[in-house]
Amino acid sequence: MRPTNTTILTKVLAVATLILCLAFRGNAQMKYFKKFPDKANPQAVGIKITERFLSRPHSTYGNPLKMNQPAPQVTYPDVCTWLGGFWFAKATDNKELFNKLEARFQPLFTNEAPLLPKPNHVDNNVFGTLPLELYIQTKDKKYLDMGLLYANTQWEVPQNASASEKKWADSGYTWQTRIWLDDMFMITAVQAQAFKATGDMKYLNRAAKEMLVYLDSIQLPTGLFYHAPSAHFSWGRGNGWMAVGMAELLRALPENNPYRSNIMNAYLKMMATLKENQSPTGMWRQVIDDPTMWEETSCTAMFTYAMIVGVRKGWLNEKQYGAAAAKAWITLTTNYIDENGDVTKVCEGTNIGNSAEHYRNRQGLTGDLHGQAPVLWCAYALTAPKL
Let me know the angle formed at the C-alpha of 25 by 23 and 26, rounded to the nearest 5 degrees. Answer: 65
19-26: long-range pairs with CB below 8 Å, 24+: 25/314
The model's confidence at residue 278, banded by pLDDT at 50, 70 and 90, is: very high
pLDDT, one tens digit per residue, over 57-71 is 999 999 999 988 999
Secondary structure of residue 225 in the 3-state scheme: strand
- For residue 284, which phi and psi values (nearest 5 degrees)? -115, 160
CATH entry, 31-156+167-383, from 3.90.1150.10, 1.50.10.10, 3.30.1380.10, 2.40.50.140: 1.50.10.10
CB atoms near residue 110 (< 10 Å): 7
Give 375: exposed, middle or buried? Use CB within 10 Å, 0-12, 13-18, 19+.
Answer: buried
Cα distance between the two ends of the chain: 45
In the prediction, which pLDDT does 31 show? 86
Q: Where are the domains of the chain?
A: 31-156+167-383
User: Distance between CA atoms of 63 and 160, rounded to whole angstroms?
Assistant: 31
In the prediction, which pLDDT does 229 show? 86
User: Distance between CA atoms of 130 and 83, rounded to whole angstroms?
Assistant: 6
In the prediction, which pLDDT does 230 show? 87
Average pLDDT score over the chain: 93
pLDDT above 90 covers a percentage of the chain that reads 90
Q: How far is CA 386 from CA 92, 242, 270, 309, 312, in A?
A: 11, 23, 24, 10, 8
Q: Where are the alpha helices (DSSP H) in the chain?
A: 5-30, 42-54, 76-91, 95-105, 122-125, 129-138, 141-153, 163-170, 183-198, 201-218, 236-252, 260-276, 297-313, 323-335, 356-360, 369-383
> Is the Cα dihedral 196, 192, 384, 338 positive or negative?
negative
pLDDT, one tens digit per residue, over 123-162 is 999 999 999 999 999 999 999 999 999 999 999 999 999 9
Q: Do 366 and 320 meet the contact criterion of CB atoms below 8 Å apart?
A: no
pLDDT, one tens digit per residue, over 220-257 is 999 999 998 889 999 999 999 999 999 999 999 999 99
Is 7's pLDDT higher than 90? no
- For residue 296, which phi and psi values (nearest 5 degrees)? -125, 140
Is 13's pLDDT higher than 70? no
In the prediction, which pLDDT does 115 show? 98
Is 263's pLDDT higher than 70? yes
Secondary structure of residue 284 in the 3-state scheme: strand
Secondary structure of residue 100 in the 3-state scheme: helix
Is 344's pLDDT higher than 90? yes
Average pLDDT over residues 270-286: 98
Average pLDDT over residues 277-290: 98
